[in-house]
Amino acid sequence: MKRRSFLKKAGLGLAAASAVAAPAIVRAQAPAVSWRMALSWPKSLDALYGGAEFISKRVSDATGGKFTIKVFAAGEIVGGLQVLDAVQNGTVECGHTANYYYFGKDPTFAFAASIPFGLNARQQNAWMRHGGGLELMREFFKDYNCYNIPAGNTGAQMGGWFRKEIKTVADLKGLKMRIGGTAGLVLATLGVVPQQIAGGDIYPALEKGTIDAAEWVGPYDDEKLGFYKVAKNYYYPAWWEGGTELDLLVNIKAWEALPKDYQAILESACADAYDWVLTKYDAGNPAALKRLVANGVKLLPFSNDIMAACYKASQEVYDGIAAKNAKFNKVYEPWKKFRDEQVQWFSIAENRYDNFMVSAQRSSQRAPAKK
Ligand code: CA
């Protein structure tokens, strides 16, 4: 009894002491973690590079400078298309990239970016967060020692810069085009010779004539990269990139070694960066497009015939991959169902609203209000 009450007292004493001291102890014990992030982007692209810097700053600010992530532009540690390899083998702890660059290893990667006639930015985010996409993709990425966190989106992209006009499907034959991801597989079936080139290296190839056409993102980035100086025909839309997601790939050992609170902070920083990048593009694109058109750029839609031929080709390409690749098929089947349901839903409220706004604005521009 005596011993028991002694223990009870001692226990209370300890509890009281630790309650007072706990906050100081937690702060003192917050470990210093220093990471490196390799990017697929050059510094000049302030929506993409800026998105990666945003993550780094947010993480540092939220941890009182204890968890730092140093950002390296494409080429500083590894080339823009080698980010996955660098994260997978632990050269860097993390990397900011577009996962469709790795479709040559496995086309399944592209679901965590975009595939032709896929989801728009809203739908991609919905699939990842609430449609089972993130679970499916995290399972896939485990085989590459990576933990993937969505961390940006470009929105719907432009179809790119063509030296000559592309009027018919036949005009695609023999065309050497820089194009990202799975779209190359689709266009190859129509005679295009696709090339995968990192963002910072496209301009010289287009200028020299090594390629006939190039696509990157949209007006905000494309203006900075200067494509309009060497190819004047600017096509839309990039039917292969309705809303391209960007990801932070984290080496799985580095992720598992990270304290839980740092993990939560990093996930939150990436979710915030997702929105930051998308809104940066949405806010910057209109003025950039006006400047491009003022510089003599010819804005052209892909014809319905070309779009329809590419749509048909894309379905055949997917069916072909799905028949041979179980990992791809495991994602593709539920993804396709999700996409088809989203297209139906968006056709009701979203599209009707957007289309009405466009026609209302056009008719008010045609006919000034009566006095
Ligand atoms: Ca693109």
Assess if residue 296 is contained within a domain: yes
Neighbours of ion ligand 1 (CB under 5 A): 157, 180, 215, 241
Residue 344 Cα, ligand 1 centroid: separation in angstroms?
Answer: 25
Residue 248 Cα, ligand 1 centroid: separation in angstroms?
Answer: 18
Assess if residue 306 is contained within a domain: yes
d(CA 218, CA 273): 19
Confidence of residue 1 (pLDDT cuts 50, 70, 90): very low
Rounded to 10 degrees, the C-alpha dihedral 130/133/139/142 comes to -110
* pLDDT at 7 > cutoff 50: no
Residue 214 Cα, ligand 1 centroid: separation in angstroms?
Answer: 9
Q: How many domains does the chain have?
A: 1
CA-to-CA dists, residue 232 to 24, 152, 211, 298, angstroms: 62, 29, 14, 6
Task: Give the global pTM.
Answer: 0.90
Average pLDDT over residues 194-202: 90
pLDDT in tens, 278-335: 999 999 999 999 999 999 999 999 999 999 999 999 999 999 999 999 999 999 999 9
Residue 114 Cα, ligand 1 centroid: separation in angstroms?
Answer: 10
Residue 261 Cα, ligand 1 centroid: separation in angstroms?
Answer: 35
| More confident of the two residues 29 and 11 | 29
Cβ–Cβ under 8 Å, residues 138 and 233: no
Residue 241 Cα, ligand 1 centroid: separation in angstroms?
Answer: 6
Assess if residue 361 is contained within a domain: no
Assess if residue 225 is contained within a domain: yes
Nearest residue to 62 via CA among 270, 255, 257, 245: 270
Residue 179 Cα, ligand 1 centroid: separation in angstroms?
Answer: 6
Assess if residue 126 is contained within a domain: no
d(CA 71, CA 360): 45
CA-to-CA dists, residue 170 to 166, 173, 192, 195, 305, angstroms: 9, 6, 10, 19, 11
Residue 238 Cα, ligand 1 centroid: separation in angstroms?
Answer: 7
Assess if residue 3 is contained within a domain: no
Confidence of residue 368 (pLDDT cuts 50, 70, 90): low
By CB atoms closer than 10 A (0-12, 13-18, 19+), residue 186 is buried
Residue 269 Cα, ligand 1 centroid: separation in angstroms?
Answer: 24
Residue 207 Cα, ligand 1 centroid: separation in angstroms?
Answer: 18
Can you give the residue range of the structural domain that contains 230? 160-240+287-326
- DSSP conformation class of 74: T
Tell me the HSE value of 33 on the side-chain side, using a 13 A CA sphere.
25
Peptide bond into 237 cis (omega under 30): yes
* Cross-strand pairs, 39: 96
Assess if residue 122 is contained within a domain: no
The predicted structure's pLDDT at residue 28: 58
Residue 21 Cα, ligand 1 centroid: separation in angstroms?
Answer: 53
Assess if residue 257 is contained within a domain: no
The predicted structure's pLDDT at residue 370: 60
187: CATH: 3.40.190.10
Average pLDDT over the chain, rounded to an integer: 92
Residue 204 Cα, ligand 1 centroid: separation in angstroms?
Answer: 17
Q: How far is Cα of residue 300 from the mean position of the Cα atoms in its chain?
A: 25
d(CA 329, CA 77): 34
Confidence of residue 371 (pLDDT cuts 50, 70, 90): low
CB atoms within 10 A of CB 26: 10
